[in-house]
A and B are shown apart, each in its own frame.
Chain A
Amino acid sequence: MKKERPYLDRVHTWGRISSLTTLCVMLMFPAAICLYLNVWPRFHDVFSGLIKIIPLFWTTAVIEVVSYTPVLGAGGTYLSFVTGNITNLKLPCGLNAMESAGVKAQSEEGEVVSTIAIATSAITTTLILAVGVLLFSPVLPLIKESKLLAPAFQQVLPALFGALGAGYFMKHWRISILPIVVMVIVLVFSGGIPAGTLVPIGVVVSLLGAFGMFKLGWIGSKNTDAAKE
């Protein structure tokens, strides 16, 4: 009888197939929209949108893949990147599950628990989104046209990023001050600067600032340990 390959090797094979098929299927999505609507955007327009986000998104992708793989394990990593929402959902969910089950991230037990947690989380998210979208579809036009509720949706970005950022800003306040101050100053001089341009400025300033502070010893093991409750 043929001896079965180690579990981790098999996970890598499945993960590679999963990533590449998702890549193809994902690219078929806008293509299907174009076929359905019978419109084909100009390459130049798509490119000028992409050029604003690719430097940031693709750099972040490298940082994320490198930094999450050791924590999430192989199966967890493949599945997390395929299903998305890592920082705000899959990463804390996987860590939480490994801690609850009392297994270590680097062990094979950790690998298994992390994969189960992230798969469950992905299925739950997908179902909640699908049910939510179906429930919301009849109500959405009403919400959009409601004068009373209009401000809630106009202000969704400040609400979302305020709520998402609050914890980070408190935990990493030393890192946070510089990029926000720099971006406010940039906006004071050029208020209409688009978000797509402002985001990379913010990220670069923030990274340089954080790296400088780390080198100066202002932030590092001591400070983050203290902030980790």
Chain B
Amino acid sequence: MDFKNSLSMYLIGGALILFIIAQSVFFLVKAWKRGRELGLSSATLRSTVTTSALFTIAPAIAILATVVSLAGALGLVLPWVRLSIIGNLSYETVAATAAMEALNHAGGMAVEVKDQTLFATIAWVMTVGSVFPLLLLPVVTKPIQKKLNTVVAKSKSDLPDILAAAAFIGLIGAFIARAIAGSGEKDIIGDGAGVLSVITLVSAVVISLLLETIRKKLNVNWLQPFVMPLSMFLAMGVAVVAFNLLPADVALLEWRG
């Protein structure tokens, strides 16, 4: 049995997941009670729950897709736990890749991790890399809420929003740039930038923009949460079609090796 997907791993993961669900239920119940005290109707609160659950389905499927895509290298349990607690769609991939690079794991995410020490190293890097907010929150949230709240509410400046967007763009941009011009391992097909990576990237962007345009023009707002996961899956589909239809020497062309 693969140690990454063994029963013990599932039990360790399951215990953590229960802990997280219990916390969410606690906050939900407390907020619900307070909402009723404040005079919010049960109908409003119920509709908040329904809307939020529906809103969550599609992004959650995108997160599941990330778990599955990381599972090729890391098994299911580690990505599952990391993306259920603190984790984040884009960070976890970066963290796992950084750990693999530190231990010279050839081929990165495209190659299964079979070494137990490497696996444990990756688990530590992914965890410690992500826990900082938990140290920060107990100290800063209350003062921020008390003081900054009023300042931000009054301030007309967009700078915080702009910088948050810029940081995010820098992060995503690194992967975009790698799909255009990054080189991979010589022996591993599909690892370096080439015809397939660019076709997939362009398809994902174009499909996403098309869906977004359709949503706006036809006013189909329920489509909104599905735009991202749908574009991602369709672009992966385009990669499969292109790989199977294009002549092998074109489909496998990787200009950066």
Contact = CB atoms under 8 A, between A and B. Distances in A.
A81 B117 contact: no
A152 B67 contact: no
A168 B172 contact: yes
A30 B173 contact: no
Given A20-B134, A93-B52, A162 B98 contact: no
Interface in B1-58: 3, 5, 8-9, 12, 14, 16-17, 19-21, 23-28, 30-32, 34-35, 38, 40, 44-45, 47-49, 51-53, 55-57
B60 A128 contact: yes
Interface residues of A, number: 157
| Chain B interface size range | 35 or more
Interface centre among A40, A106, A117, A159 (most CB of B within 10 A): A159
B218 to A, nearest CB: 15
Given A112-B31, A113-B40, A129-B60, A210 B174 contact: no
Contacts of A117: 48-49, 51-52
A209 B64 CA distance: 33
A195 B174 contact: yes
Interface string A60-71: 111111110110
Given A92-B55, A166-B204, A207-B163, A77 B137 contact: yes
A110 to B, nearest CB: 11
Given A57-B129, A83-B20, A120-B49, A33 B123 contact: yes
A136 B231 contact: no
Nearest to B79: A133
A117 to B, nearest CB: 4
Contacts of A191: 181-183, 192-193, 256-257
Nearest to B76: A133
A136 B64 CA distance: 10
A162 B201 contact: yes
28 contacts: A30-B127, A41-B117, A49-B121, A49-B129, A63-B163, A65-B144, A69-B148, A79-B23, A85-B59, A93-B56, A97-B48, A113-B48, A119-B24, A121-B53, A123-B25, A125-B59, A126-B20, A132-B61, A132-B67, A140-B71, A153-B72, A155-B200, A167-B208, A168-B165, A172-B169, A191-B193, A202-B174, A220-B162
A52 to B, nearest CB: 4
Contact of B133 (A65, A159, A179, A199): A65
Contacts of B247: none
B76 A45 contact: no
A160 B162 contact: no
B250 interface: no
B225 to A, nearest CB: 8
A219 B162 contact: yes
B113 to A, nearest CB: 12
Contact of A34 (B8, B51, B120): B120
Contacts of A144: 72
Nearest to B197: A158
A219 B65 CA distance: 34
Interface string B158-192: 11111111111111111111111111000001111
Contact of A25 (B16, B80, B128, B135): B16
Contact of B91 (A57, A115, A133, A224): A57
A133 B80 contact: yes
Nearest to A181: B177
Contacts of A159: 200-201, 203-204, 231-233, 235-236, 239
Contacts of B158: 214, 219-221, 224
Given A120-B48, A124-B52, A89 B12 contact: no
Contacts of A125: 56, 59-60, 63, 84
Given A122-B24, A158-B204, A170-B209, A69 B63 contact: no
